[in-house]
Amino acid sequence: MYQDLLNKKKTVAVIGLGYVGLPIALELAKKVKVIGFDIKEDRIALMRKNIDPSKEIKPEAFDGCDIHFTSDKEDIRKASFYILTVPTPIDKHKKPDLRPLLSATKTVGEVLEKGDYVVYESTVYPGCTEEDCVPLLERTSGLEYISDFKVGFSPERINPGDKKHTLTNITKVTSGCDAVSAEEIAKIYEIIIEAGIYRASSIKVAEAAKVIENTQRDINIAFMNELSMVFNKMNINTFEVLEAAGTKWNFLSFFPGLVGGHCIGVDPYYLTHKSAMYGHHAQIINAGRAINDGMAAWVAKEVAIKLLNLYTNIKECKLLVLGTTFKENVSDIRNSKVAEMVYELQSFGIYVDVMDPCADPGEVAEEYGYELIDKPSGSYHGVILAVSHDEYKQMGEADLAELLLPGGMVMDLKGVFRNKISSLKYWSL
Ligand SMILES: NC(=O)c1ccc[n+]([C@@H]2O[C@H](COP(=O)([O-])OP(=O)(O)OC[C@H]3O[C@@H](n4cnc5c(N)ncnc54)[C@H](O)[C@@H]3O)[C@@H](O)[C@H]2O)c1
């Protein structure tokens, strides 16, 4: 497979061209022949014009790539090495929603031929690839696992908005269903990954490694959020405590905040779901999830208390929220907890304006039902820094004062203005 791909005798198909799929497809297309497949025709139309619909990749990255973008299932029949990078969300009961993964698996199963490889990159629970996907591949293709086709799992570790840790300079974990496929898959990823490959001992190990990376992060942030709730009662600034504690060599660097997006706030549920199937109730992971899922409501309540201490009628208060994406310097608004905070504030009768230089106003209106404003409308009783976009980090006390009514408060969920405020009223997590 490796040699045939390099000689362009065989083709790679990347299924699902989003934040994960498009970068991998383009990187591979610099070296091998690639078909980029997505069910969304509007996204394919943009990619054909060298436009990344997720706004992460510059048009130049498409230059010189040997890639054919398509939403026609028949086109992927020509491929022999399939990489699946489709979403793995949770449903409204916070259970894994495998529909996109199984649907993409079925698409591949229908065109799978003897000798082909299928590698999953979507984040799943340990066992998902071999217990949920492989049987479907067998059923739809009529082929036999391992003897007719090989499967692997190679989790994606890219971090949206992070210009330092990019696809090629992050160590990639790979795995295969047997020794031959494990080596072949590792060599194929080595074509593009400069940081090197870590060969996991099995598909399950690779699946588990990915899901615990994000779960570990979720639990650590939950700890910070809990500290913030405690220190808030004690009138101690959490960021000051963390800065002091951080002078110890083995103190871990995490900060409180809203945990949204499609990874950190979602993946732990995949692990707790599978662990429950084995009869283990994952207490630490679930506790972390409960804290982080409740953080937006807690912040809104604290903001309301601050306003009540300053003004007699909070229903007459006007707030400006800076940032609505799920994290800094990205346009991605999926599962943003800022929206939840906004709804909570509105439920107290507080008027809320939201600004965000990175988010698409149309997407926000469609997804969350509120209109972003271009510029502040008058002055506010409070300004909430919800997302630390670079643009906001550059603001000083004078900029914030301009947004506030006399006596108004800066509410800083990210602790970015902590050392800049001397006269304005200030609260941070
Ligand atoms: N975004 C990240 O930074 C990141 C990082 C590491 C891992 N992951 C994981 O990678 C996977 C993909 O995430 P993403 O952020 O790229 O998602 P995404 O929503 O940005 O992209 C997924 C793409 O798949 C397409 N798609 C959906 N169903 C399909 C199907 N049946 N056939 C073909 N295409 C289909 C969608 O149209 C979309 O373009 C998820 O499991 C996610 O948890 C994401």
Expressed in angstroms and rounded, the spacing between residue 350 Cα and the centre of ligand 1 is 36
Query: Average pLDDT of 84-101?
Result: 97
Provide the domain limits for residue 400: 294-428
Residue nearest atom 38 of ligand 1, based on CA coordinates: 18
DSSP states of 309-322 as a string?
HH-S-GGG-EEEEE
Residues 21 and 143 in one domain: yes
* Residue pLDDT, tens place only, 279-294: 999 999 999 999 999 9
Task: Tell whether the model's pLDDT for residue 189 goes beyond 90.
Answer: yes
Task: Tell me if 304 is assigned to some domain.
Answer: yes
Task: Tell me if 243 is assigned to some domain.
Answer: no
* Residue pLDDT, tens place only, 341-379: 999 999 999 999 999 999 999 999 999 999 999 999 999
Task: Tell me if 7 is assigned to some domain.
Answer: yes
Which two tokens mark 245?
């504690």
Task: Tell whether the model's pLDDT for residue 304 goes beyond 90.
Answer: yes
Task: Tell me if 186 is assigned to some domain.
Answer: yes
pLDDT of residue 260: 92
Task: Tell whether the model's pLDDT for residue 163 goes beyond 90.
Answer: no
Q: What is the CATH number of the domain that holds 307?
A: 3.40.50.720
Pairing of strands 425-428, 11-15: unpaired
Residues 172 and 299 in one domain: no
* Residue pLDDT, tens place only, 108-148: 999 999 999 999 999 999 999 999 999 999 999 999 999 99
Which residue, of 193, 211, 229, is where some domain finishes?
211
Which residue, of 211, 237, 265, is where some domain finishes?
211
Provide the β-strand partners of residue 380: 404
CA distance 338 to 97: 23
CA distance 346 to 413: 18
- What are 244-253's contacts with CB under 8 Å, separation 24+? 252/220
3-state secondary structure of 155: coil
Give the pLDDT band (50/70/90) at residue 56: confident
Expressed in angstroms and rounded, the spacing between residue 374 Cα and the centre of ligand 1 is 30
Residue nearest atom 35 of ligand 1, based on CA coordinates: 16
Task: Tell me if 229 is assigned to some domain.
Answer: no
Amino acid found at 310: L
Task: Tell me if 19 is assigned to some domain.
Answer: yes
Instruction: Label residues 413-423 b or e (16+ Cβ within 10 Å = b).
Output: bbbbbeebbee
Give, in degrees to the nearest 5, the angle at Cα 100 between 5 and 171. 50
Residues 191 and 328 in one domain: no
The closest of 28, 94, 20 to 56, measured between CA atoms, is 20
Which residue, of 163, 185, 211, is where some domain finishes?
211
Query: Average pLDDT of 65-79?
Result: 97
Give, in degrees to the nearest 5, the angle at Cα 348 between 408 and 91. 120
Could you identify the atom of ligand 1 that is nearest to the CA of residue 262? 43
Residues 197 and 328 in one domain: no
CA distance 363 to 414: 24
Residue nearest atom 26 of ligand 1, based on CA coordinates: 16
CA distance 64 to 264: 34
pLDDT of residue 164: 87
CA distance 202 to 164: 29
Task: Tell whether the model's pLDDT for residue 54 goes beyond 90.
Answer: no
Pairing of strands 380-385, 351-355: unpaired
User: Residues 6 or more apart from 290 whose CB is under 8 A from it?
Assistant: none
Task: Tell me if 200 is assigned to some domain.
Answer: yes
In Å, how far are 26, 29, 198, 429 from 194, measured between CA atoms?
A: 15, 15, 12, 39
Pocket lined around ligand 1, Cβ cut-off 6 Å? 15-21, 37-40, 43, 54, 85-88, 100, 103-104, 107, 122-123, 156-158, 160, 262-263
Residues 327 and 195 in one domain: no
Looking at the 3D structure of the chain, how many domains does it have? 2
* Residue pLDDT, tens place only, 319-331: 999 999 999 999 9
Which two tokens mark 77?
């029949």
Residues 64 and 158 in one domain: yes
* Residue pLDDT, tens place only, 214-248: 999 999 999 999 999 999 999 999 999 999 999 99
Expressed in angstroms and rounded, the spacing between residue 18 Cα and the centre of ligand 1 is 5
Residues 117 and 16 in one domain: yes
pLDDT of residue 353: 98
3-state secondary structure of 174: strand
Cβ atoms of 115 and 149 within 8 Å: the answer is yes
Task: Tell me if 240 is assigned to some domain.
Answer: no
Torsion from C-alpha of 37, 43, 49, 50, nearest 10 degrees = -70
Residues 9 and 105 in one domain: yes
Catalytic residue numbers?
Answer: 263
Residues 311 and 417 in one domain: yes
Residues 304 and 204 in one domain: no
Residues 32 and 173 in one domain: yes
Residues 302 and 417 in one domain: yes
pLDDT of residue 210: 98
pLDDT over 90, % of the chain = 96
Expressed in angstroms and rounded, the spacing between residue 262 Cα and the centre of ligand 1 is 9
